[in-house]
Amino acid sequence: MVQSTQHPPHIVVSRLPLYLRCLMYMAAEGHKVTSSKELAEKLGISSAQIRKDLSHFGEFGKQGTGYDVAHLIEQLRSILHVEHEWPVVLVGAGDLGHALVHHTTLVNRGFRIAAIFDKNPAKIGLQWGTLVIQDVQDMAQVIREKGFRLAILAIPAQEAQQVADRLVEAGIKGILNYAPTTIIAPPGVRVEYLDPVIQLQRMTYYI
Amino acid sequence: MVQSTQHPPHIVVSRLPLYLRCLMYMAAEGHKVTSSKELAEKLGISSAQIRKDLSHFGEFGKQGTGYDVAHLIEQLRSILHVEHEWPVVLVGAGDLGHALVHHTTLVNRGFRIAAIFDKNPAKIGLQWGTLVIQDVQDMAQVIREKGFRLAILAIPAQEAQQVADRLVEAGIKGILNYAPTTIIAPPGVRVEYLDPVIQLQRMTYYI
């Protein structure tokens, strides 16, 4: 199999985390092997698409025997660079930040909140789990010292661009933005969005 | 201009809410007119792409004078079916649900939480804003009576498919799923996802 030295299309890359999530549930349920057909049924994606997507990155299954679940998890973790946990900076200690810190969503999936920043004096100094909420004024320095690369923005829209600029200047390469606004970032910095209204409007178009 | 009677590609539809969000910020800042060039700078999407996307739905701008902001907002709201507010059912009264109900993210953007359900007896009966958290056992009946079409799932992954099945059976046509798992829905029902880990992994691939 020929592996391209270029990145596959982003749409292909964007499906890999879905495969990984599904495989991890299967592993947790005790499945040792699976097939593109079984994955297709669980994911609502065609088995041909799944095989084609995976073929961009190597040969993971055997004709007739399917995929070894643990092996495919390991490979996908390696491809997505989540073999180890990434420390993530959280900016904004509101309800959303609270949910992210206190729930198990991130655990065992490649990420942990490693620092929390807020500008509200009433929040600074509070302890959330093992972390103490820090002053956003110290954010850039902490990011540089620790070499953090990922950040989650859970702050109001009107502050998002300015804080994003400071994150990028301090060395952040990926921003997950919960603020309901677009962020402009320089080349080499990726931004992903979580705005429930955008997702809802993508459904109401069809209803 | 010829308008197709078929839906444009979903990738085109999926960008319209971003245009609408941007235009609403511009309107709030007092902008009366804009251009594809100005939108491009604010959105990080090329002006040619923006013009092409909008051309699927009609002719909104004039050569040389650009777009009337208020008119384009009105048109996009109509296209996305958010001229009026959609009542949305929230299932799950945890931190995430709390953030959705108490923050202004949804207001003026086409949606309002109209009912909240949880299975936890300690939550049922509590008042959040103007709403009282109801027993999830009554969910299907309430959805049928009120004719609700949209739901947000903010519950653990292992319960998501079962609750989604009940929502669909009661008449829900669109589910925004915060649970970190894929939901299989019948044709005619749309599912959108908000899982921060999926978005983070889509960035770490490139870092």
Q: Evaluate if residue A186 carries a pLDDT over 50.
A: yes
Q: What's the mean pLDDT in A98-116?
A: 87
Q: Is A48 left (phi over 0), alpha (psi -120 to 50) or beta?
A: alpha
Alpha-carbon gap, residue B93 to B120, rounded angstroms = 9
Neighbour-count burial for B27-49, b at 16+ CB within 10 Å, e otherwise: eeeeeebbbbebbbebbebeeee
Instruction: Answer whether A202 sits within 8 Å of B14, measured CB to CB.
Output: yes
The whole-number pLDDT of residue B33 equals: 95
The residue among B141, B154, B78, B68 whose CA lies nearest residue B113 is B154
Measured between CB atoms, which of B105, B197, B199 is closest to A180?
Answer: B105
Selected residue with higher pLDDT from B107 and A27: A27
Rounded Cα distance between A197 and A182, Å, is: 13
- The percent of residues above 70 in pLDDT, for chain B, comes to 97
Count how many pairs of residues, chain A against chain B, have C-beta atoms within 8 Å.
Answer: 192
Percent of chain A predicted with pLDDT > 70? 97
**Quick count: other Cβ atoms within 10 Å of Cβ A125?**
11
Q: Inform me whether the C-beta atom of residue B98 falls under 8 Å from chain A C-beta atoms.
A: yes
* Record: contact A17-B105, CB cut-off 8 A: no
pLDDT above 80 for A200? yes
Task: Return the pLDDT at B137.
Answer: 97
* B1-20 mean pLDDT: 80
Show the tokens assigned to B139: 């969910």
User: Which sequence spans correspond to the domains of chain B?
Assistant: 10-79, 86-199
Non-local CB neighbours of A44 within 8 Å, separated by 6+ positions: B182, B184, B185
Q: Which residue in the block uniquely carries the two structure tokens 């990011």?
A: A143
Predicted confidence band of residue B21 (pLDDT cuts 50, 70, 90): very high
Name the B residues in 52-91 with CB < 8 Å from any A CB. Answer: 79-82, 86, 88
**Residues 142 to 171 of A: which have CB under 8 A from any B CB?**
149-150, 152, 157
**CB contacts, 8 Å: B193 with chain A:** 199
CB B142 within 8 A of CB B136: no
Q: B197 and A157 in contact by Cβ < 8 A? A: no
Query: Cβ A176–B157 below 8 Å, yes or no?
Result: no
Phi and psi at A7, nearest 5°, equal -65, 140
Residue A1 has pLDDT above 60, yes or no: no
> Which architecture does CATH list for B10-79?
Orthogonal Bundle (1.10)
The interface pTM score, or ipTM, of the predicted complex is 0.91
Half-sphere exposure of B52 (CA within 13 A, CB side): 8
Contact A189, A166 (CB under 8 A): no
Q: Answer whether residue A2 shows pLDDT above 60.
A: no
Structure tokens at A156: 């109001």
Confidence band for B2, pLDDT divided at 50, 70 and 90: very low
| pLDDT value of residue A102 | 83
pLDDT higher than 60, residue B189: yes
Specify the pLDDT at position B3.
Answer: 46
* Nearest CA-CA distance, residue A82 and chain B, Å: 7
The band of A108, judged by pLDDT with boundaries at 50, 70 and 90, is confident
For A146-181, the pLDDT digits (tens) are 999 999 999 999 999 999 999 999 999 999 999 989
Q: Please tell me the distance in Å from A107's CA to the nearest CA on chain B.
A: 10
Instruction: Taking residues B8-30, report their average pLDDT.
Output: 93
pLDDT (average), residues B157-173: 97
Task: Encode pLDDT of B51-88 as tens digits.
Answer: 999 999 988 877 777 899 999 999 999 999 999 999 99
CB B85 within 8 A of CB A200: no
CA distance A175 to A73: 25
Residues in chain A within 8 Å Cβ distance of B99: 94-96, 99
Identify the CA nearest to A152 among candidates A119, A126, A115: A115
Contact A18 B42 (CB under 8 A): no
Does the structural domain B86-199 have CATH classification 3.40.50.720?
yes
Residue B188, SS3?
A: coil
Cβ of A21 and B197 within 8 Å? yes
Predicted pLDDT of residue B4: 46
* Whether the predicted pLDDT of B134 surpasses 60: yes
On whether the CB atoms of residues B192 and B167 are closer than 8 A, the answer is no
A108 touches chain B (CB under 8 A): no
What mean pLDDT do residues A47-54 have? 94
Higher pLDDT, B165 or A107: B165
Whether residue A49 is predicted with pLDDT greater than 70 in this model: the reply is yes
Query: Per CATH, which fold does A10-78 belong to?
Result: Arc Repressor Mutant, subunit A (1.10.10)
Minimal Cα distance from A29: which residue of B? Answer: B158
Cross-chain residue pair A200–B150, CB shorter than 8 Å: yes
| Residues of chain B positioned with their CB less than 8 A from the CB of A96 | 95-96, 99
**Among A44-48, B1-5, B153-157, where is mean pLDDT lowest?**
B1-5
Contact residues on chain A for B155, CB-CB shorter than 8 A: none
| Whole-prediction pTM | 0.87
**Distance between CA atoms of residues B84 and B75, nearest Å:** 13
Set of chain B residues whose Cβ sits within 8 Å of the Cβ of A185: 44
Alpha-carbon distance B173 to B179, whole Å? 18
